[in-house]
Chains A and B, each alone.
Chain A
Amino acid sequence: MQKGRNKIAVDYAKCGDGHGVDPRACGICLRICVPAVFLLHQTLGVEDDPKDPRCWRVSPYWTDLCSRCLKCVEACPEKAVTVSW
């Protein structure tokens, strides 16, 4: 059994809001994660054009299910994901 919390972070300066990489088009971390820890979602409070890439982000959600394999850190083309514990 794992001890301690998994600290997973996505750097939004590199992925999604502000940078222009549309997580809906990339989504590599979403598919590589075995327990599907990440969630692709609309940001809160932005009620603009639904096609605007800035409205979409990838966030770690089911963080306690992370198996710490670090595949997402390796796979991210923008090097935006960090995992620590």
Chain B
Amino acid sequence: MKHGAGGKWYLNAEHYSNEIVEKYRLKDFLMEQYRNFEQLPMRKVAGVDGTGLGYKLRMPLVGRLVKRLAENMLHSTRPPTNPFKAEGHIGQVVPLEDAIAILEACAVEPIIEKNCMCRMMSRGIKEACCINFGVMSEIAKELPRFVPEKDKFFLTRAQAVDRFKTHNTKGYIGTIWFGPFPYINNLCSCASPECAGIRPRLDYGVKSIYKAEYIIDFNPDKCTGCKACVAKCQFGAIEYSLSLKRVTVDMKKCWGCGVCRHGCKGKALYLQPREGVPAYKDDY
């Protein structure tokens, strides 16, 4: 996985191509995986299931082993073999600008928007906000529970950009996913705690998703103290300081999604490349 100066892995059109699908025979694999998608968390991985993951991770020695098993599976770069495991399923947070670049330049048509599986599983609600490309679109079409009832299913590039913009300004975090490595087919708009990709990292410290290539930069002089950004941040990185009468930003907690910018009245928040900040340049 290339970060920072080495280039952004998700802006490589090769990862989106249909040749990769054929090379790794991913069509049947993905069909099998998504047909039984909601079974996935219930299945055991190397004899360990995910129920009460926190207890397992807190155990001495065993906890470290469980964490390593999970990360090895998620970060796997070998050709995937078992559709019932989240092999090579690793993602990264992307801000609006990069997501638009993906949709305009990299994504393979047809582009669709399907119901979010995470929100379906953890809240029982159907909300169309997962943008899929290429072969994944054809698979989602076959599975009626992923097809939104009200919203449009097939999207043009411009419509997809529009939809993503709406989700992002609403406060959903843009994420791009390998599923499985090396095929990129998902551009999600995630929410915490529902997202099954963000939760393991946020609550358990398992690297299931990388932070963005960016990190927040804050100009305190421009802050009007409207607190709109506080409600937008899903990682608790922004707090309102009563004594300073403006917000404070915790860069340690920032994932670089850039969602907070959309609420900012004084344009005090903007993104900077993570590699340019010495303390956080390797904190992906």
Contact = CB atoms under 8 A, between A and B. Distances in A.
Partners in one complex: yes
B199 A62 contact: yes
Contacts of A64: 52-55, 58
16 contacts: A5-B52, A27-B123, A30-B123, A31-B123, A31-B124, A35-B193, A36-B193, A38-B122, A42-B42, A44-B42, A50-B35, A60-B51, A61-B41, A62-B53, A63-B52, A63-B54
Contacts of B38: 40-42, 56
Interface of B: 35-36, 38-39, 41-43, 50-55, 58, 120-125, 143-145, 193-194, 199, 203
Contacts, number: 71
Interface residues of A, number: 26
A24 interface: yes
- List 5 A-B pairs, minimum CB-CB distance, nearest first: A27-B124, A64-B54, A30-B124, A42-B38, A36-B122
Given A35-B193, A38-B122, A61 B50 contact: yes
A16 interface: no
B143 to A, nearest CB: 8
Contacts of B35: 50
Nearest to B52: A63
B162 to A, nearest CB: 28
A60 B144 CA distance: 26
Given A38-B122, A42-B42, A43-B39, 8 more contacts: A27-B125, A31-B124, A40-B121, A41-B41, A41-B42, A43-B42, A61-B50, A61-B51
Contacts of A70: none
A24 B121 CA distance: 9
Contacts of B50: 61
A13 interface: no
Nearest to B124: A27
Contact of B42 (A5, A50, A59): A59
